[in-house]
Amino acid sequence: MLQQETKNQLGQQFFLAVIIVILYIITHLLNPSMQNIQLAVGIFLITELANIAFLYWKKRLTWEYLVTTIIGAGIAMRIGYMLYTPFDVRTHDLGEVRIDAYGHAAYLLKIINNHSLPETNTVQLYQQPFYYIVAAIVSKGICSILKLSTYTDYLDAAKVVSCYASCGVLLLNKKVCQTFHLKGRGAVIATALVAFVPDFYLISSRLNADALICYIMLLAFLITIDWYDDPNWKNTLLLALVYGIGMMTKISMASMALLTATFFLVRLIRADAATRKKIVPRLCVFGVISLPLGLWYSVRNYYLFGQSLTYVPDIGKDLDIYIGNRSFATRFLTFSLENYFKTPYAYPWQDYNEPIYIIKSALFGEFVYDIEGVIPTLLLFFALILSGLAVIQLIAVARRKEKEKNDWYVIILIGIMLVSIVTFAIRYPYGCSMDYRYYVILCVAFGVVLGRKPAYGFMNTAIPMFLTLMSLGSCLMYLLIQ
């Protein structure tokens, strides 16, 4: 049964990848306008809503069907956004579209055109290579089918990898619901949060590792739980491979390694002597596989450039984006409603408060949109209420004496991610370091929390109501932006 379920999940992931590539190729051949792509996605969503209403009227609507429909809608929003958003719109550190530049674009072009890794670690060329290698291969394949060969064509086709990873997180969320025994209402809530938080749309069209590392981190989290329940060779080898690839994608994978290391240690302590003798050699093999695979590029860069393992380019303290001169309290412990509603958008050159910035960047990234102001303002309001409910739920779940199965796992994950947010922001005290794109896996964790039994009676209505309003506002906004 479990083996068949794994085959089904792999089949769904493969089918998703094929569909995204096909849709990208068709869209490139037909060259529809941005508005026509938005219209097509809008019609798809309206059709789904109409079908839900019809089944509800016929009293045939099930929770399982709702989950499937929400996944379909979330994937449609991600793919639609990727198709109508050029690779150089709402991006980060792309750099010039030249092979001799120093941004993400140049990194990709060096692999696509020269079949070589960067010859320097300047600016973004210090990044781990796995995303760029995969994106280069996929881009080359798509452009070969379309008979394209310009730098712009190669870069645009590379978006497909990020789109797949963002959609893949939503498919993996089905496994999350199973792992945490979320059914019915709880599964719908957990799925809807991951489906419609806008940052998942934004990262689906970017030429960087944001989406892929989220996918890999979530995969590592799920396999870690499987390993804790059954530390056999299969789970050990899978986890080693995922960690090796994850570290080869982005060094921030190390934050998830803290969670896995904790599970390793607890499992060893709780095991009897016979089981411990089996686990120890497996952990040794885990290290033998994951460490060389994950760290070879870091060793290369250390040997060539003297680059440390945790290296991130320092922007400098003489720019307005520097916020290290602000107090810890104003950066992390306060929440100004006046600042929150002053503008719905996050400004890395002006803002300094982490809680506010996290919510704003989860909805809009670090960008301003050409759209009627009432829509983003309402979306911001709904997200604020939902965030408050999520915090209340988290505290309640943590305090419950009789926790649901695996609740501690998600509490530890949230704790590690929150510590990572503060640590990274202190080490690199710049406005851009607060962007939610680095921590988008928190959506999955808080989805589980919101899907649990509500802490208070009023939350039975409040959670689904504000989640629905936020989801509708999210779709409406990103189908109307210009």
pLDDT over 90 for what percent of the chain? 77
pLDDT 10s digits, 297-310 = 999 999 999 988 88
Widest CA span in the chain: 67
Q: What is the DSSP letter of 125?
A: G
Report how far apart, in Å, the C-alpha atoms of 421 and of each of 118, 194, 355, 426, 465 are: 29, 20, 10, 9, 29
pLDDT value of position 333: 87
Alpha-carbon distance of 430 to 416, in angstroms, equals 21
Report whether pLDDT(316) > 80. no
Query: What confidence tier does 405 reach under pLDDT thresholds 50, 70, 90?
Result: low
β partners of residue 430: 322
Q: What is the DSSP string of 5-39?
A: HHHHHHHHHHHHHHHHHHHHHHHHHH---HHHHHH
The answer to whether the CB of 63 falls within 8 A of the CB of 183 is: yes
Summarize pLDDT for 203-217 with one digit per residue, the tens.
999 999 999 999 999
50 pLDDT higher than 60: yes
Amino acid at 281: P
Q: What integer is the mean pLDDT of 1-23?
A: 82
Which residue is it, tokens 């609507």? 61
Instruction: Please classify residue 68 by burial: count the beta carbons closer than 10 Å to its beta carbon, then call 0-12 exposed, 13-18 middle and 19+ buried.
Output: middle
For residue 406, which phi and psi values (nearest 5 degrees)?
A: 75, 10
Residue range 354-360: mean pLDDT, rounded: 92
Q: Cα-flanking dihedrals φ and ψ of residue 224, to 5°? A: -60, -45
Mean pLDDT over all residues of the chain?
92
